[in-house]
């Protein structure tokens, strides 16, 4: 039986081989984690946010039309309501825009945006304003336009 002696060069070579292979595998793991996050987590979360914004916009549009339907000829009417404080654990903005001939409730955060037309009142009544998702929100109608 012959005995083989291990030299210092072979020990360093084995160590470097282990470090190189481990480094390549860690880089591949990191790339895979980013790809999985984008494909399986961000995509469905963004779809959830968009559909939640559509539902919230439809609810706001309905509330605005309801206030319009019972608005007095002379006087003021106000209503308070609550919308969800967050969607997918993030707050959002709500803007009411009556410019451009179409009255729109726009709900957005970052690059996800939902625009819902305010059906039923057309351009007969100007609707403007904005709010955030937190707290109690108000719709106010004043016949004098103030």
**For residue 35, is it within any domain?**
yes
Are the beta carbons of 120 and 105 closer than 8 angstroms? no
pLDDT of residue 122: 62
Indicate whether 1 belongs to any domain.
no
Burial of 116 (0-12, 13-18, 19+ CB in 10 A): buried
Q: Is 4 within a domain?
A: no
* Six-digit token string for 88: 């997918």
Where does 59-111 show beta strands of DSSP type E? 76-82, 93-97, 104-109
Q: What is the pLDDT of residue 3?
A: 66
Range of the domain at 40: 9-142
pLDDT digits (tens, 9 = 90+) for 27-52: 999 999 988 887 888 888 999 999 99
How far apart are the C-alpha atoms of 91 and 8, rounded to whole Å? Answer: 61
- Domain tally, the chain: 1
């Amino acid at each position: 039986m012959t005995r083989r002696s291990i030299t210092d060069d072979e020990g360093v070579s084995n160590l470097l081989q282990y470090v190189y292979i481990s480094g390549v595998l860690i880089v591949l793991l990191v790339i895979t984690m980013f790809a999985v996050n984008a494909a399986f987590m961000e995509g469905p979360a963004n779809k959830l946010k968009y559909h939640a914004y559509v539902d919230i916009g439809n609810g706001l549009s309905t509330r605005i039309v309801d206030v319009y339907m019972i608005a007095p000829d002379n006087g003021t009417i106000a209503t308070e309501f609550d919308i969800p404080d967050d969607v997918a654990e993030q707050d959002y903005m709500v803007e009411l825009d009556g410019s451009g001939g179409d009255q729109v409730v726009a709900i957005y955060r970052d690059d996800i945006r939902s625009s819902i037309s305010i059906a039923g009142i057309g351009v007969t009544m100007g609707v403007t304003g904005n709010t955030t998702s937190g707290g109690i929100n108000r719709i106010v109608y004043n016949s004098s336009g103030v």
